[in-house]
Structure 1
């Protein structure tokens, strides 16, 4: 074993959440009489938290006088509708089971709200994930290292024991800021070319979750 723990991003890495996110965004946009967004647009809005998602999705962005209320409405709606079309990517359950069978510790870190992270973790990964961390008032969101460091603390592992797995440039920056290696997965919300252009060219790239078993 090269590592003792694997830290996973959630959206676009473990779970294909984009349809539920898009549907929730468009519900809120309709509520406020704003034009809806396509799935591909929303795919490029996600990664930096619901704050950035709504800022990018609504007219006027953060300067919209209704921004705080729109954000609050979105977060409340999404928590109640986060598991309608969402599901794990192919081979993710098999990957997590095999990692646990081999003795690895598993963490999930996400820029979702803590409520959303816990809801989805309990539904899909409760038997495998040792730790699941979302956005709180006490932790800076990714790409700050706070969530990863908190996960390491809870798992009682050191940096040199950990590897990060994610699908976006935010994940690459999170791993770099934490000081741990990153495996970039190509089944999520960014293409390999987009990741390389964003500075992730030195990462290992995987096209199927089971390939991760050969890298950890």
Structure 2
């Protein structure tokens, strides 16, 4: 049975409102992609003989898509030509090494199966490139996102639809046949918070990704799930 939630108090955790549609972020929410992203960035940096970056540095750079990730990782002041070549090198390397160390977070696969089995409509919207998003979702969540259900899985195709733009979230809702009042976005970053606001929908943040709970609350998050058990409870029972 789908939970009931209310929107009346946005300064408290979401309570008593009906959601039947869940749109998830990918990196830092469903999948831990940090290792492969770090390897991809450092492959690029090594080609230019630039200093390597740590995983903690890469974690702090993630959230706005690969062009911004590389701009932050490259030395300050590099010209646009180097950035363009860095994007090409990263794309080639990353797509060939996209699943080396990437894994779903603990409990994610079982949670998605339970939610799907209980009738929730599920989509994914990421700032990662669209082909990478679809490949990862098919590989790790193929029993959830298959056939027609893959139509609600989206990655960015350019600056115009990269979060915090709401365009892809709204498109996922259109594909799923869902209204704003019955949809919640689930993500791990301030970019996701702004995206949900721009789309006019609620958000539940997760604290296991690339930003911690204190940071997310400082950016406006009202509800932060500590683990998948808590998220599942929020979505199916309420709090």
TM-score bracket, normalised by the shorter chain, equals over 0.9
User: TM-score, length-normalised on structure 1?
Assistant: 0.94
Report SS of the residue matched to 2:81: coil
Aligned match for 1:187, one of 208, 220, 226: 208
Paired positions, count: 214
8 Å CA contact 1:55–1:61 kept in 2: the answer is no
User: 2:15 maps to which residue?
Assistant: none
User: 1:104 maps to which residue?
Assistant: 120
Report SS of the residue matched to 1:66: helix
Q: Show structure 1 runs of 4+ deviating over 4 A.
A: none
1:39-86 per-position Cα deviation (integer Å, ceiling 9, x unaligned): 000001010000100000001356453111111211221111110000
1:178-210 per-position Cα deviation (integer Å, ceiling 9, x unaligned): 11111110110001111122232xx21111112
1:62-120 per-position Cα deviation (integer Å, ceiling 9, x unaligned): 64531111112112211111100000000001110110111001101000001110110
User: 2:190 maps to which residue?
Assistant: 169
Greater mean alpha carbon deviation, residues 53-62 or residues 187-196: 53-62
Report SS of the residue matched to 1:199: coil
Query: Which one has the largest radius of gyration?
Result: 2
User: 1:31 maps to which residue?
Assistant: 47
Unaligned runs of 5+ in 2: 3-17
Q: CA deviation at 1:137?
A: 4.2
Q: CA deviation at 1:157?
A: 1.0
1:122-163 per-position Cα deviation (integer Å, ceiling 9, x unaligned): 101122132210011495100110110010111111111111
Report SS of the residue matched to 1:11: coil
Aligned match for 1:123, one of 131, 139, 148: 139
- Measure, in 2, the Cα distance between the counterparts of 1:94 and 1:61: 45
Q: CA deviation at 1:4?
A: 1.2
Report SS of the residue matched to 1:215: helix
- Measure, in 1, the Cα distance between the counterparts of 2:208 and 2:182: 25
1:208 and 2:227 aligned:
yes
1:82-101 matched pairs, under 5 angstroms: 82-101=98-117
User: 2:12 maps to which residue?
Assistant: none
